């Protein structure tokens, strides 16, 4: 669906009270919202995972005024809550802006959230590999990426950063399907050959002390997002177990209590991942699938409403109410009918 058409439908729908109707129809569903970060300054649009602080503040006010936001118990409780239109706010990766920017805004509205951190990377003062890979190359002065030695073709990198970001996004998706050791070798190669001398990482992770401070606040609960943000489904069961155990050990060493809720790195997992999580006492895990969470869903495959900087206020309201997903379902039905 074209963005212009979607905007018109969202505008008219809101005007006609469709968000009110769908909020009531979906009142028993849970909205688990997935964020990554918030910036106090305007960023290029290709950093779509990072909202500006004004947009995020508006969204938090909308949630405060219209929904019942709770902590991790919203999805962990075995017995359904009596409250309706429940929301769980989550942040993946543990970016430093969660500490610098997000925390103040959540406190302003007295809203709780869960932050899924990567404790080993924070401890070693490193970035998530996919963030670092993108950040280096989108800002590099090079016009060609040569990855022949890794079985990949030469990749032209246009000067236009918006176009370059699309190409890097596609490459990042390909890398997620590869063995993590190969990905590490590729990343080391990129650091050595394409890292400009004036490069400064835009999205650092929180330090261990900042993670601890957040865990002691009224706004944040801290949970594991793995040790190093590897694609777990690319690892053996034993390696997955080692990775998750290491993340829990690091959080425990910081004095952070165990929260039995997990977010799969890159949203990728397999049956071994789920079984390993159960062995460690986890009760639920979050995936990357854009829809509401219902009682029929597996608790180790909880979908989330993904929010980035490309989501307008009208679309945010419609995603929360469920009107947006109704429009998507109609679009899918019409597309299927045309093909058949």
Pick the most confident of 187-201, 257-271, 322-336: 257-271
pLDDT at residue 202, as a whole number? 84
Q: Mean pLDDT score of the chain, rounded to an integer?
A: 93
Mean pLDDT of the 43-48 span: 91
pLDDT at residue 221, as a whole number? 98
Positions of E strands within 111-228? 113-117, 144-145, 155-156, 220-224
The bridge status of strand 113-117 relative to strand 220-224 is parallel
What would the pLDDT profile of 10-26 be if each residue is shown by its tens digit?
Answer: 999 999 999 999 999 99
Helix H or strand E encompassing 321: helix 313-321
Query: Residue 212 phi/psi, 5° resolution?
Result: -60, -45
Q: Residue 107 in contact with residue 218, Cβ under 8 Å?
A: yes
Mean pLDDT of the 211-222 span: 98
What would the pLDDT profile of 255-300 be if each residue is shown by its tens digit?
Answer: 999 999 999 999 999 999 999 999 999 999 999 999 999 989 999 9
**What percent of the chain lies above the pLDDT cut of 70?**
96
pLDDT at residue 180, as a whole number? 87
Confidence class of residue 78 from pLDDT cuts 50, 70 and 90?
A: low
For the chain, domains (ranges, CATH) are: 3-8+34-124+207-339 (3.20.20.370), 129-194 (no CATH)
Query: Residue 268 phi/psi, 5° resolution?
Result: -110, 135
Helix H or strand E encompassing 50: strand 50-52
pLDDT at residue 197, as a whole number? 85
Mean pLDDT of the 63-83 span: 86
State the pTM of this model.
Answer: 0.94
Residue identified by tokens 């040790």 is 227
């Amino acid at each position: 669906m074209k963005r212009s058409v979607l905007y018109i439908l969202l505008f008219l729908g809101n005007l006609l009270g469709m968000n009110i109707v769908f909020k009531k129809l979906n009142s028993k569903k849970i909205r688990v919202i997935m964020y990554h970060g918030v910036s106090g300054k305007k960023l290029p649009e290709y950093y779509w995972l990072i909202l500006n602080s004004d947009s995020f503040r508006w969204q938090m006010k909308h949630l405060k005024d219209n929904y019942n936001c709770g902590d991790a118990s919203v999805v962990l409780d075995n017995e359904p809550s009596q409250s309706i239109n429940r929301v769980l706010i989550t942040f993946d990766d543990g970016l430093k802006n969660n500490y610098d920017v997000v925390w103040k805004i959540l406190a302003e509205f007295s809203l709780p959230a869960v932050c899924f951190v990567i404790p080993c990377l924070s401890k070693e003062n490193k970035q998530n590999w996919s963030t670092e890979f993108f950040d280096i190359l989108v800002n590099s002065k090079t016009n060609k990426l040569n990855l022949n030695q890794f079985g990949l073709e030469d990749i032209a990198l246009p000067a236009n950063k918006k176009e370059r970001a699309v190409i890097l996004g596609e490459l990042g998706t390909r890398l997620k399907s590869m063995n993590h050791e190969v990905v590490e070798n590729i990343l080391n190669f990129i650091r050595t050959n394409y890292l400009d001398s004036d490069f400064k990482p835009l999205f650092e992770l929180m330090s261990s002390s900042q993670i601890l401070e957040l865990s002691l606040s009224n706004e944040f609960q801290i949970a594991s997002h793995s040790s190093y943000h590897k694609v777990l489904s690319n690892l053996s069961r034993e390696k997955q177990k080692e990775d998750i155990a290491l993340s829990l050990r690091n959080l425990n060493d910081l004095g952070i209590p165990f929260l039995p809720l997990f977010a799969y790195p890159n949203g990728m997992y397999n049956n071994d991942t789920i079984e390993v999580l159960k062995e460690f006492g986890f009760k639920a895990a979050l995936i990357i699938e854009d829809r509401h969470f219902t009682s029929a869903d597996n608790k180790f495959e909880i979908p989330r409403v993904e929010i980035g900087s490309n989501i307008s206020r009208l679309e945010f309201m419609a995603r929360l109410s469920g009107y947006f997903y109704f429009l998507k379902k109609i679009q899918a039905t019409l597309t299927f009918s045309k093909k058949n």
